Structure 1
Amino acid sequence: MSFKEEYYPSPDGLNLYYREYGSDQSASPLLCLSGLTRSSLDFHDFAERYSKTRTVYTLDYRGRGKSPYDANYKNYNPQVYIGDIYAFLTEKKIEKALFVGTSLGGLLTMAMAGFAKNFIAGAILNDVGPEVDKSGSSRILDYVGKEVRYATLEEAAEKQKELYRGAYPDITEEDWLGQAKSTFIYDEGAKNYRLNYDLNLGKALAEQLNSDEQVDLWPFFKELNDVPTLAIRGALSDVLSEAVFDRMKKENPNMETLVLKNRGHVPLLNEPETLTKLDDFIARVR
C-alpha cells in the first residue's frame, strides 16, 4: 500500500482511524478533513499526489469509515470533532499543518482557526464558507441517515449518477463507479452494499440544524486573514452561495480563490484546473 493505516485515541477513549501517506518532513504536513458522511477514501488520489513532497494525513471521523461508531449519537457534533482533531495533532506532535477541509472539514478548519490557530500553516476550504445555504442544508438533511443498500457497486453507481449528476455533469462512468466505491462498503452479513457511516448521523444533524444555538462562524473565518488560504467553489453549489463567497473575498482580500464551472457540492479536487491551483498553492505553504 502507498499508506500506513493507524489509530489514535480520542479524548473519550475511541480509537480513531487515519491514513498516513509519505514521510517527507521538510514542510508542514497536509491534514485532510472530509465532508459530513465521507471518509479518508475521498482523499486517496489527492494524498498520493502530494505525499511525494510532504506527509499527508487523512482522518476518518468517529462514526465514519474504519473509525468506531459512537454509542452516543449526540457526540456527532463539531465540538467533539474539534477535540478529536486536537487529540490527533497532539498525539502526532504536529506543530503546524496545512488543513484541507471539504464541506464539514472546512467548517472544522475555520473553527480550529478560532480555537487553536497556532496549528494552522495554511487552509484550503473546499466549497464551504461561514454560512451554509439553506437549500443545501435541507438537501443534505433529507438524505443523511437514510438506509439505502445495493446488490452491486454498479447499481450503486447508477443511483449516485441519478441523484448527483447535476453537481457533476461531465464526469465519466468510471468516475461514478469510483464515487460508489468511496461511499458504500460491503456488508458481509447482508451480502450487499451499505453506506459507510453510522446512520445516527442523520439524527444528530437534524437536532443541530433545528437548534436555537447556531454559531456565527464569520469571526472564526476572519482568523484566517493572516494565514495562507485558498477557497474553492463549485459554480453549481447549493451549499456555498455566490453571495457568501463574495463576502468571504471582501472579508479576506488576501484569500486566493477558484471557481469551477461544472461542479456543484463538492469539487472532487481532481479537476485539471483545481490541480494546477493546488500544486502552486501547496508548494508555497511551508
Structure 2
Amino acid sequence: MPHFDTTDGLSLYYTDSSESWTEIAADSDNDVPVVLCLAGLTRNSGDFRFVLPFLPEHRVIRMDYRGRGQSDWAEDISTYSVAQEAADAIALLDHLGIERATILGTSRGGLIAMLLAATHPQRLRGAILNDIGPEIAPGGLNRIFEYVGHRPAYDDFDAAADGLKAAMEPRFPGVTRDRWRLHAELIWKEAEDGLDLRYDARLRDALTHQAGAGPAPDLWVLWDALAALPVTVLHGANSDLLNTDILSRMQARARAMRGVTVPDRGHVPFLDEREALQGILSHLKDYA
C-alpha cells in the first residue's frame, strides 16, 4: 500500500488513480489534470468513494491525514491541526512530483484548501469545497463535539445502517439503508466488542485544546486568498455547518465563486448526487 514519510517521521497513506493507468506510466510527460482529495475531520480517503468513478480522465490523489484511516497516529496531538495537515498535503504533492492540483475538499479538507491558497497559491489550480466555509454555524460545531472521539454505539454494520438511517433521515431524506451501511463501513471498523473508530480518539483532545487556546482565527482572510483562484462551493441544502447567510457572504467576497446547492442533503453531500457532480465536473472542465 502506498505511503509517504513526513518530516516528523510519520507514514501517511494515500492512493493515486494513475497507478492503474498504463498509458500514463508509459508517458511521463502526459499532463493529466490532478485532483487532490482532502477528507473531513474524522474521515479518510473513503470519503471520495462515491465520486471516484466519475473522474476517469483525472489523476485523483486521496490521502489519509495523520491519525486517520491507514496513516500513522502522531505522538504529539498538537500536530492534529489544519496547519500541519496542509503541510502534509504539500509534502504528498512533492513526493509525487506534482506541481499543481485542484483541491476537492470535504469540510476540514476545505479549510485546508483555504490555508493552502494563502500559503502556497502556486500549487493550486483552484478548489471545490464540499459544504464548508470560513465560518462554521454554531449548531454544526456543537454537533461535531458531541461525536468526535466517541466510539459508535453499534454492535455491527447492520445496526449502524439502521441507526444512521433513522438519525439522518431529517437531513438526508430518501437515502437508502444500503448507502448508510456502506457509509458506516467507510467511517468505522469492526472490533471484538462492536464498531470502533477509524481515527485516533485523541483528536477530540486536540480540538478541545485548540478551542481553548484563544480566540478563533479569522478565516475570512483565508477565504479571500482562495477567492483569487477558481472556486466552487457545494452546499447541502439542510446543512448545519454552512448556512445560507455564510454562503451569501462568501459569494459577496468572491464574485466569481460558483455556488451549487445540493437538495435533500445535510453535512456533507456524498458527492455523487446529480447537482454535486454537475458542479464538480463543470469546475474541472472549465479550469483544467
TM-score range, shorter chain: over 0.9
Give the residue type in structure 2 aligned to 1:279. Answer: L
> How is 1:19-98 mapped onto 2 (pairs within 5 angstroms)?
19-22=15-18, 23=21, 25-50=30-55, 52-98=56-102
Aligned-pair distance for 1:225? Answer: 2.6
- Distance in 2 separating the partners of 1:211 and 1:126: 27
Aligned-pair distance for 1:37? Answer: 0.4
The TM-score, its normalising length taken from structure 2, stands at 0.92
Aligned-pair distance for 1:149? Answer: 4.9
Aligned-pair distance for 1:273? Answer: 1.9
Aligned to 2:279: 277
- Distance in 2 separating the partners of 1:205 and 1:169: 30
Structure 1 residue ranges (4+ consecutive) displaced by more than 6 angstroms after TM superposition: none
The reply on whether 1:99 has 2:95 as its aligned counterpart is no
Listed as ranges, the gaps of 5+ residues in structure 1 are none
The reply on whether 1:170 has 2:152 as its aligned counterpart is no
**Alignment partner of 2:150 out of 118, 131, 146:** 146
- Distance in 2 separating the partners of 1:205 and 1:67: 19
- Distance in 2 separating the partners of 1:249 and 1:27: 30
Q: Quick check: 216-225 or 23-32, which moved more?
A: 23-32
CA RMSD of aligned residues (A): 1.5
The answer to whether the Cα contact below 8 Å between 2:151 and 2:195 also exists between their aligned partners in 1 is: no
- Distance in 1 separating the partners of 2:154 and 2:142: 24
- Distance in 2 separating the partners of 1:82 and 1:155: 36
The answer to whether the Cα contact below 8 Å between 1:73 and 1:200 also exists between their aligned partners in 2 is: yes
- Distance in 2 separating the partners of 1:149 and 1:261: 29
- Distance in 2 separating the partners of 1:176 and 1:147: 17
Q: Secondary structure at the match of 1:224?
A: helix
Aligned to 1:135: 139
Aligned-pair distance for 1:162? Answer: 3.0
- Distance in 1 separating the partners of 2:239 and 2:50: 23
Listed as ranges, the gaps of 5+ residues in structure 2 are 25-29
Aligned-pair distance for 1:92? Answer: 1.1
Aligned-pair distance for 1:96? Answer: 0.4
Aligned-pair distance for 1:220? Answer: 1.2
- Distance in 1 separating the partners of 2:193 and 2:140: 33
Q: Quick check: 19-28 or 170-179, which moved more?
A: 19-28
Give the residue type in structure 2 aligned to 1:66. Answer: Q
- Distance in 1 separating the partners of 2:137 and 2:279: 25
Aligned to 2:12: 16
Give the residue type in structure 2 aligned to 1:135. Answer: G
1:5-34 deviation digits (Å, cap 9, x = unpaired): 410111211010001113454333000000
Aligned-pair distance for 1:104? Answer: 0.3
> How is 1:224-263 mapped onto 2 (pairs within 5 angstroms)?
224-263=226-265
- Matched residue count: 279
Aligned-pair distance for 1:193? Answer: 2.3
1:82-113 deviation digits (Å, cap 9, x = unpaired): 12112111111111001000000000000100
After superposition, the Cα gap between the structure-2 partners of 1:208 and 1:162, relative to the gap in structure 1 and judged at 3 Å, is farther
Identity rate, percent: 33
Aligned to 1:117: 121
The TM-score, its normalising length taken from structure 1, stands at 0.93
The answer to whether the Cα contact below 8 Å between 1:149 and 1:195 also exists between their aligned partners in 2 is: no
Aligned to 1:193: 195
1:144-191 deviation digits (Å, cap 9, x = unpaired): 00123533211111222233223211211111111111111123xx25
The answer to whether the Cα contact below 8 Å between 2:39 and 2:107 also exists between their aligned partners in 1 is: yes
Aligned to 1:7: 3
Give the residue type in structure 1 aligned to 2:41. Answer: L
The reply on whether 1:215 has 2:217 as its aligned counterpart is yes
- Distance in 1 separating the partners of 2:48 and 2:264: 20
The answer to whether the Cα contact below 8 Å between 1:28 and 1:121 also exists between their aligned partners in 2 is: no
- Distance in 1 separating the partners of 2:144 and 2:225: 28
